[in-house]
Amino acid sequence: MRTYRIAFAILLFAAPFLAQAQTTDKPNILWIVSEDNSPFIGAYGDTFATTPNIDKLATQGVLYTNAFATAPVCAPSRSTLITGMYPPSMGTENMRSTYPAPDFVKFYPKYLREAGYYTSNNVKKDYNVDQDQEDAWDESSHDATYQKRKPGQPFFAIFNTTISHESCVHKSIPNDQLRHSPAKVPLPPYHPDTPEMRHDWAQYYDKVEDMDTFVGKILADLEASGEAENTIVFYYSDHGGVLGRSKRFMYESGLHIPLVIRFPKKYAHLAPGQPGTKTDRIVTFLDFAPSLLSLAGVPIPEYMGGKAFLGTQNASEREYAHAFRGRMDERIDLVRSVRDKKYRYIRNYMPHKIYGQYIEYLWRAPSMGSWEAAYKAGTLNDVQKKFWETKPVEELFDVEADPHNVNNLAGDPKYAVLLKKMRQANHDYLVEIKDVGFLPEGRMEEISQTTPLFDYARSGKYDVKKVIETAEMASMGDPRNLKELTKKLTDGDPVIRYWAATGCTILGNKAQSAKGTLINLLSDPEVTVRIAAAEALTKLGEKEKAVQTLTEALNSDIQMARVQALNVLEQLGPEASKAFPAVKQLIDHKKKNADYDLRAAEKILASAGK
């Protein structure tokens, strides 16, 4: 008994030290996150960029050449990061929609805290879900830092900078104060050579340089803290950007991100390569949370949809990076994309909408107005003016040969087999994850008031395969499908009716035989279907009936139904004049200028000189 007591006393005395040793064996992890920038980095081969700190980090770490955001805009991308789930599977794909995530989802820092980590976030959240889960962080603020942790406690820390954010080009800096020359700035082939475009690009390169200075400071602080040899460092951007046709758009310019990861000698065995090397492994934001948990030795929850690309739970390489676009601010669109190591496939489900839909925040950049003015003046070449035209249903790009994605190969017979393969990969993934982004957002808003959309998709009420197939048929714009689309206009599922009506809009005047059924849908019990039918009827000579229906929809209690109706009214221009009093009344009753229906309404009246 005495021996047992001595042994127990020794164990009791040693327990705190054993626990501390066990905890401190875990690597610290530091994320440095910039905003709205593609790999305009010297280490990625950009000779115009001035990024000495990130370039040095790349010589000390591993550079990922195929790292991708899941969305080309912040809040949906960050929804992916914080939950480890693909936003279209749970309804968090539309910009600042804040619909509820399923109850079982924990923000990944919670798992780290439970494993003994100190978690700090400085400072951006923007998770695009309605719950904040404040307890995921020990501290989330402008003052948050790993330096506040307990002695010996491992940390996970984020430092996010807005220096390179889109807003950095809203106010022009005088030319003589710019460090990067507007005259020498390289322009992508899709941008016109205007003074405003050159200036915005040069100013943006200045801001990327400033962002690099921020990265250098965070790394210097880490070195000074004595923790550099215990810390795995990530540098990445939250998506691509920032000038027109990058952020918000489904090209390399919107989705390809810089990612450099440095492993100290202590954790070199966890690195995918030697310092200064590159890897072409495809990784997406869907993989970040699983990889983080894997590095920390935390079991990865089954609901997380990504593949760990680091740590003890390292998974096999993924073949594709999937990406999505839903509503961007006040403009409705629906796009999905698939990327392998060489090609990008894009599927446009609303090809009747132009790429360059007016978005108030995007148009704050002087370069956007100059691009639009050049289009109206007829001075653009074929590549530059595509942005102002309707979209093809499918796009396919050889990214190695065409990094700016301007040569669409989808219609080239030589790529027919590849196109079919990537089209099928896209279709299969949408069905597999039960993509709820194909619900009209007004319907999503209604459902989410009582049920998380993830749960709704698995309730038996959402026939995802039928919905996807209808959306694919509708988007093709093939008159041979009109008979089937007309039949679907009377389907018992309002989502099928919505997509069938959208298909008639895409067919335009070729959908004349469906006019009678579409008129009947103006009294449909579902407001999003009424609006979709009204939009189709604007193409079939029934604009007066359509405008009346759209005007009535502005009184809906559902904000996203109002946005849907306003999008159609704006396309009509002066022909929607009978709706202008209702549009003005909507503005008069709104108070928050961040409301997307208000932005859409104001644009209608501004265009009409009202």
**DSSP character string of 6-53:** HHHHHHHHHHHHHHHHHHHTSPEEEEEEE-S--S-SGGGT-TT---HH
Strands 283-284, 394-398: pairing kind:
unpaired
d(CA 46, CA 55): 11
* Listed residue (515, 525, 509, 573) closest to 547, CA to CA: 573
d(CA 244, CA 361): 11
pLDDT at 262: 98
d(CA 358, CA 368): 10
d(CA 432, CA 461): 16
Which phi and psi (to 5°) does residue 243 adopt? -75, 170
The tokens describing 79, both together, are 């929804």
d(CA 168, CA 163): 7
Check if the beta carbon of residue 287 is closer than 8 Å to that of residue 67: no
d(CA 132, CA 135): 9
Profile the chain (610 residues) by mean pLDDT over runs of 10 residues.
Answer: 36 38 74 98 98 99 98 98 98 96 97 98 95 93 98 98 98 98 98 98 98 98 98 98 98 98 97 98 98 98 97 97 98 98 99 98 98 98 98 98 98 98 98 98 97 98 98 98 98 98 98 98 98 98 98 96 98 97 92 78 94
pLDDT at 222: 98
pLDDT at 362: 98
DSSP states along 334-352: -EEEEE-SSEEEEEES-TT
- Helix, strand, coil share (%) of the chain residues, nearest 5: 50, 10, 40
Look at the pTM and tell me if it is higher than 0.85.
yes
**Nearest-10 crossing angle of helices 527-537, 441-448:** 170
The tokens describing 60, both together, are 């000390």
Q: Which residues of 429-452 are buried (b: 16+ CB within 10 A; e: fewer)?
A: bbeebbbbbbbbbbbbbbbbeeeb
* ∠ Cα 106 257 292 (to 5°): 30
The Cβ of residue 458 has, within 10 Å, a number of other Cβ atoms equal to 14
Helix H or strand E encompassing 283: strand 283-284
Strands 62-64, 259-262: pairing kind:
antiparallel
74 labelled catalytic? yes
For residue 512, count CB atoms less than 10 angstroms from its CB and return exposed for 0-12, middle for 13-18, buried for 19 or more. middle
End-to-end CA distance of the chain: 93
* Listed residue (581, 93, 592) closest to 323, CA to CA: 93
How far is Cα of residue 324 from the mean position of the Cα atoms in its chain? 7
Ranges assigned E (strand) in 510-607: none
d(CA 127, CA 432): 24
The tokens describing 416, both together, are 């027919």
* Listed residue (324, 322, 302) closest to 313, CA to CA: 302
- Rg of the chain over Cα atoms, rounded to whole angstroms, equals 26
| Residue 213, helix vs strand vs coil | helix
**Nearest-10 crossing angle of helices 580-589, 596-607:** 140
pLDDT at 131: 84
Which phi and psi (to 5°) does residue 2 adopt? -65, -40
* Listed residue (64, 49, 569) closest to 309, CA to CA: 64
| Residue 321, helix vs strand vs coil | strand
Check if the beta carbon of residue 310 is closer than 8 Å to that of residue 270: yes
* Listed residue (386, 388, 385) closest to 357, CA to CA: 388
pLDDT at 118: 98
| Residue 262, helix vs strand vs coil | strand
d(CA 265, CA 188): 40
The CA distances from residue 113 to 198, 278, 284, 348, in Å, are 47, 32, 24, 41
**Structural domains for the chain:** 12-318 (3.40.720.10), 338-414 (no CATH), 419-607 (1.25.10)
d(CA 188, CA 197): 11
d(CA 377, CA 375): 5
d(CA 118, CA 150): 8
Alpha-carbon torsion angle 522, 527, 533, 538, nearest 10: 90
| Residue 122, helix vs strand vs coil | strand
The tokens describing 89, both together, are 């599977």
Catalytic residue among 62, 71, 73, 74: 74
| Residue 72, helix vs strand vs coil | coil
Check if the beta carbon of residue 313 is closer than 8 Å to that of residue 467: no
**Nearest-10 crossing angle of helices 441-448, 494-507:** 160
Check if the beta carbon of residue 436 is closer than 8 Å to that of residue 91: yes
